[in-house]
Chains A and B, each alone.
Chain A
């Protein structure tokens, strides 16, 4: 009997051993694949070995660890490129994930949300595939989970889905994610806050209606409370979300301003993190671009001075929003343009123009100059005094400048020249400008010279009159008229003296003269 029992036990032991070995092997396989998938160079090989079809049944494994790890491996694979993400979609893995997202434990949920995120990240069609298989509802349900890690993963996936276009974003909103995301912002975990803010930013960026939905969920109050948070990455996302909300309409911008962000966000312009500074400046740009009143508010809180200092401290593409903000402020009214000038914005912009090498930043700077200088002669004088006009002309004439830059430079030059009465700044342009710019320069001279005797004298002594006589203008053109009106300010002898070929005519007269 003893022997019998012993044999029986032995058989059971053998059977169990097989299962144990199988489970160990599966676990090891999945873990190794997940480990290998972290390195990009392995992924091609894994894909060629048919890892997708092997991982898919393991998602339905009875052991939770294997399920999670296989989901993690799938997520890493899908994260790598859009082909693999498409393979995940085509392998009908998403419905399984979505189904189990509602059922399983939190580790599995996290991994499944990671897969969804990795798939949705690549393109709108893939994100649409996630939406079509009902991923949104499952993600929204897991936003209500207690565990912050799950919430974080779900919010991240929702943000990636909403990022692509307004339609997907609307789908996310319709799934009821916004109030839950707003709740997530209020959680104590910084990472969760960060991701929820980023998701809200992605939702709000597409259309005014979506932004309004985010605002209606009360996001602004919570976002504005986190402005002075010490975490730099969180601040980046918060400012990005606020700027995406405020960019759409005046009402939204006013709501953002009413959250009393104003004196306090200026402090973030001195943040050690570059992107925080950039996003703050973007937010200010989005607010100021709407109305003169909002711009006035920003100016009155000293925002313009802070942005001008910011421009002095940074380099490259992050300057762009600051430059554009100055342009927007100056565009609204001459008072605001004057405010930019007295805040020493013009020299700073001139520095930007000379330091930056990229055309689009130069174009923005040139545009800002045009907006500052186009209001009154005083403004134009301030711009001209910074020796900007020759630079603008050089950019306009430079064949290497992009077309956009050339157009903007021409427009800016034209609008500044039409107001400029500061003749010393105009004079260099007489010698260099092509005829379509020269027209405006000469016109300004013809307007000022009849009324200013000192300027008339200076114009002759500096050789301007000689240059004007040398200009070849068509008879009856506007340019010719302007030249004539300049000539009328001077005695005829002087005009003739400075006209080209005068010495020859004098010599001819000597030849013809017959002494009596």
Chain B
């Protein structure tokens, strides 16, 4: 009870205290509330921040891994590419090397071969020298020939002149005009005059006479020379008929110069027949060879000669047919064969042989259709 009393005693104070305390609380409530909010806000902020940072951390991890993955992939790609480029560069370098070699080889071989060209030029120089030398030789030769001809002509001219002026030749008694006694040596013309013979007169005095009316025709050599050249001598010109039983001068002339007209009998030689026969025989003997090669008809394709092409210069020569194989004898192939026998053949054997020998070389005689009939008739005759 005491306690209760005590409490009763104290109730006032308690009440006061309660009020104080309440006032106090009331006074602090705002501040405390704010403080609490602050604390809460801090905490909540912290919490959210912690969460966010957590998220960031995680995102970073993801990013790190992803980026690492990507970067590694890219790196691999880059390395690949670089490697590829390196390889290509290498290949290019090598291909350039190959092309360089090939192009150099090709050009040197086919387009511009320095050594071949130098050789060609040297050859050309030699050839030019040769041609020049030849041409000089040739022109020299031609010049000499022309000079020779001119000299000959000159000589000819001088000779003719000397012939014409032969009367100027000096004699023992009297020197000619070309042989001046005041000169140590005679003139060149004098020597020439000594060498040449005088020109024979163009017409003999007799002929000249005959032209003037003398009827005796000349028998001089100049007329015969003229005849030899094919010119008919001029007939004499008659002035008047002579007295007496003479023939016409022209007729006599013609008779005199008549060419020999022997008869055929006289013309032919006495041994003419023998000579002709000899001639024939000789010709036959000479012309007996047959130029065309005999080519058998079976297996004609084997007989074809190899004809050389004109475009190539190969050294393969054609094998002439028949030089080796054609003359080979194969007696065993001929064993079964017997010469053809005919009923009439024995009878007219001799005749046949004579008839046979001539055309033997001609194959077509065997194909003559008249052969049996002809032989039969022959046999009957015999």
Residue of A nearest to B122 (CB): A342
| Residue interface bits B117-143, CB-to-A below 8 A is 1, else 0 | 100110011011111100100110010
Return A68 CB to nearest CB of chain B, in Å: 26
Q: At the interface with chain B, which of A71-79, A297-305, A424-432?
A: A297-305
Return A74 CB to nearest CB of chain B, in Å: 36
Contact A267-B117, Cβ < 8 Å, known A272-B146, A342-B124: no
| Residue interface bits A340-359, CB-to-B below 8 A is 1, else 0 | 00110000000000000000
Pairwise interchain contact B138-A267, C-beta atoms closer than 8 A: yes
In A278-330, the 8 Å CB interface with B consists of 299-302, 304-306, 309
Pairwise interchain contact B124-A299, C-beta atoms closer than 8 A: yes
Q: Size range of the interface on A?
A: 10 to 19
Contact of B135 among A266, A272, A304, A338 (CB under 8 A): A266
Q: Size range of the interface on B?
A: 10 to 19
Pairwise interchain contact B139-A343, C-beta atoms closer than 8 A: no
Residues of B within 8 A of A304 (CB): 128
Pairwise interchain contact A335-B135, C-beta atoms closer than 8 A: no
Return A303 CB to nearest CB of chain B, in Å: 8
Docked CA distance A180–B132 (Å): 40
Contact A302-B142, Cβ < 8 Å, known A335-B117, A339-B121: no
| Residue interface bits B207-237, CB-to-A below 8 A is 1, else 0 | 0000000000000000000000000000000
In B90-131, the 8 Å CB interface with A consists of 117, 120-121, 124-125, 127-131
Contact of A306 among B121, B124, B135, B142 (CB under 8 A): B135
Pairwise interchain contact A306-B138, C-beta atoms closer than 8 A: no
Residues of B within 8 A of A270 (CB): 135, 138-139, 142
- Residue A238, interface by CB 8 Å: no
Return A433 CB to nearest CB of chain B, in Å: 32
Pairwise interchain contact B138-A342, C-beta atoms closer than 8 A: no
Docked CA distance A338–B119 (Å): 13
Docked CA distance A184–B124 (Å): 40
Residues of A within 8 A of B135 (CB): 266-267, 269-270, 306, 309
Pairwise interchain contact B131-A302, C-beta atoms closer than 8 A: yes
Residues of B within 8 A of A306 (CB): 131-132, 135
Residues of A within 8 A of B142 (CB): 270, 272
Residues of B within 8 A of A301 (CB): 127, 131
Residue of B nearest to A339 (CB): B124
Residues of B within 8 A of A305 (CB): 127-129, 131-132
Residues of B within 8 A of A269 (CB): 135
Residues of B within 8 A of A302 (CB): 127-128, 130-132
Pairwise interchain contact A300-B127, C-beta atoms closer than 8 A: yes
Residues of A within 8 A of B128 (CB): 302, 304-305, 342-343
- The winner among B117, B128, B138 for most chain A CB atoms within 10 A is B128
- The winner among A299, A304, A305 for most chain B CB atoms within 10 A is A305
Q: Which 5 A-B pairs have the closest CB atoms?
A: A302-B131, A305-B128, A270-B139, A302-B127, A343-B128
Interface CB pairs A-B, < 8 A, 25: A266-B131, A266-B135, A267-B135, A267-B138, A269-B135, A270-B138, A299-B124, A300-B127, A301-B127, A302-B128, A302-B130, A302-B131, A302-B132, A305-B127, A305-B129, A305-B131, A305-B132, A306-B135, A335-B117, A335-B120, A338-B117, A342-B124, A342-B125, A343-B124, A343-B125
Write the residues of chain A forming the contact surface with B, with a CB cutoff of 8 angstroms. 266-267, 269-270, 272, 299-302, 304-306, 309, 335, 338-339, 342-343
Given contacts A269-B135, A338-B117, 15 further A-B contacts (CB under 8 A): A266-B135, A267-B135, A267-B138, A270-B139, A299-B124, A300-B124, A302-B127, A302-B128, A304-B128, A309-B132, A309-B135, A335-B117, A339-B121, A342-B124, A342-B125
